[in-house]
Structure 1
Amino acid sequence: MTISLQKGQGISLKKNDGTSLTKVFLGTGWDVANSSGGGFLGKLFGGAGGGDSIDLDASVIMFDANKQFVDNVYFGQLKSRDGSVVHSGDNLTGEGDGDDEVINVDLTRVPANVSSLVFTISSFRGQTFKNVSNAFCRLVDATNNTEIAKYNLSQQGDYTALIIAKIYRHNGEWKMKAIGETCQGRTLDQMKPTIINFI
């Protein structure tokens, strides 16, 4: 059963039998606002062409317990140096149903010094979220493709990035928290000062 997350809500990444999840992925997507076609998932991560095209990118930044940068994964670096996080690749068309950009995380391989992984969506070309609607992220157990939680982000506005969620260690367990905070920045470096406030 999928948990529908609210802003600021956290969940434990434990299965019903008490064992911990080992491999998860975060899928993200949205529509172009007032688009003439494509339906709810039809134009995820930018439309197929014309004026409807919005190129947005999913990324993750890894931090240690002291909020120091460890590594990042985005369209320009599709795998973390330790190999625990893998990006599906940049999708510029957004055609078809399902997740257009996915970030896979092998929790068993995340280095011990990494305490949190923060997931973001940003507009590399500087287009704002005024033209984006129905944004969401969902956490899925990658071992059996079962959706664990989904977070719908309805807020639109004159910003270029969104801090959507984080996976973090707490008392030896992995947890997830929905963040849903807007910020400015086309690149991860530009977003880091804001992201650190939510680690």
Structure 2
Amino acid sequence: MAINLEKGQRISLEKSNGSKLQNICVGINWGAIEKKGLFGLSSGKEAVDLDASCALYSADKQLEEVIYFGNLKSKNAAVKHSGDDLTGDLDGDDGLDNEVITVDFSKLSDSTNYVAFVLNSFRGQDFGKIPFASIRIYEGTPTQVNEVFAKYDIAHGAGFAGHVSMVMGVFYKRNGEWKFNAIGEPTKDRELKGTVATVTQQYL
């Protein structure tokens, strides 16, 4: 399996030993914004609420379900969201994911052909103003990272500044095999509904 895919790269999820990848996680780690007071001195932290979400689609690209902070588990429990983090790290980067979405491919409905991941800045805070914000998509569980196959630095990555939403990537099924498309593109949307509509129109 390729590691740290660049934007636009695609891989099969069949592992080198021939087994199929079963469990993946999408983890987001970010920090609160340092507020500047008089003479540029710190005057505390401004909470940052980034929201990771997952949209499931059928083979004919019909939206089946969205898993997000208001719906933490898919109907069949194949997709689970760890819960809403409203602040980000307040005391510097602790290296841990603030929100994690897990997918068990073996539990997905047979009708599901696309599993898309998006990120939104709930309060409209610009990705470029956040001190650190990174995404990693990996095989394993929230407590065991086996192999990372896509990473994005949205706080410092070229093109993310000035945006408050992005498409992280899409898993898709071809001839019964799951594959992954590393997208990593910001969108012009302002909220989750619009970002999901962009995925439907442009990235499936």
TM-score (norm 2): 0.81
Gaps of 5+ in 1: 37-48
What is the DSSP-based 3-state SS (H/G/I as helix, E as strand, rest coil) of the residue aligned with 2:16? coil
Residue pair 1:28, 1:135 contacting (<8 A) in 2 also: yes
Instruction: Pick the aligned partner of 1:121 from 114, 119, 122.
Output: 119
Q: Which residue is 2:39 aligned to?
A: none
Instruction: Pick the aligned partner of 1:57 from 51, 54, 78.
Output: 51
Q: Which residue is 2:138 aligned to?
A: 139
Moved over 4 A (4+): none
Displacement, 1:2? 6.8
Residue pair 2:81, 2:99 contacting (<8 A) in 1 also: yes
Task: Tell me, in whole angstroms, the C-alpha distance in 2 between the residues paired with 1:130 and 1:98.
Answer: 20
Task: Tell me, in whole angstroms, the C-alpha distance in 2 between the residues paired with 1:61 and 1:112.
Answer: 15
Displacement, 1:152? 2.1
Residues 62-97 of structure 1 deviation map (CA, whole Å, 9 limit, x = unaligned): 111111110010111100112110001111243332
Task: Tell me, in whole angstroms, the C-alpha distance in 1 between the residues paired with 2:87 and 2:124.
Answer: 17
Displacement, 1:117? 0.7
Gaps of 5+ in 2: 36-42
Residues 112-147 of structure 1 deviation map (CA, whole Å, 9 limit, x = unaligned): 111111101101112222313553322122396302
Q: CA RMSD in A?
A: 2.4
Q: Which residue is 2:40 aligned to?
A: none
What is the DSSP-based 3-state SS (H/G/I as helix, E as strand, rest coil) of the residue aligned with 2:199? helix
Residue pair 1:163, 1:180 contacting (<8 A) in 2 also: yes
Q: Which structure's residues are more often strand, by fraction?
A: 2
- The total of aligned residue pairs comes to 186
Task: Tell me, in whole angstroms, the C-alpha distance in 2 between the residues paired with 1:113 and 1:127.
Answer: 36
Displacement, 1:30? 3.8
Q: Which residue is 2:84 aligned to?
A: 90
Counting aligned pairs with the same residue, the percent is 35
1:176 correspondence with 2:180: yes
Task: Tell me, in whole angstroms, the C-alpha distance in 1 between the residues paired with 2:144 and 2:197.
Answer: 36
Task: Tell me, in whole angstroms, the C-alpha distance in 1 between the residues paired with 2:112 and 2:6.
Answer: 25
1:192 correspondence with 2:184: no
Corresponding letter in the other structure for 2:187? C
Q: Which residue is 1:14 aligned to?
A: 14
Residue pair 1:8, 1:177 contacting (<8 A) in 2 also: yes
Task: Tell me, in whole angstroms, the C-alpha distance in 2 between the residues paired with 1:20 and 1:30.
Answer: 31
Residue pair 2:29, 2:95 contacting (<8 A) in 1 also: no
Q: Which residue is 1:68 aligned to?
A: 62
Q: Which residue is 1:24 aligned to?
A: 24
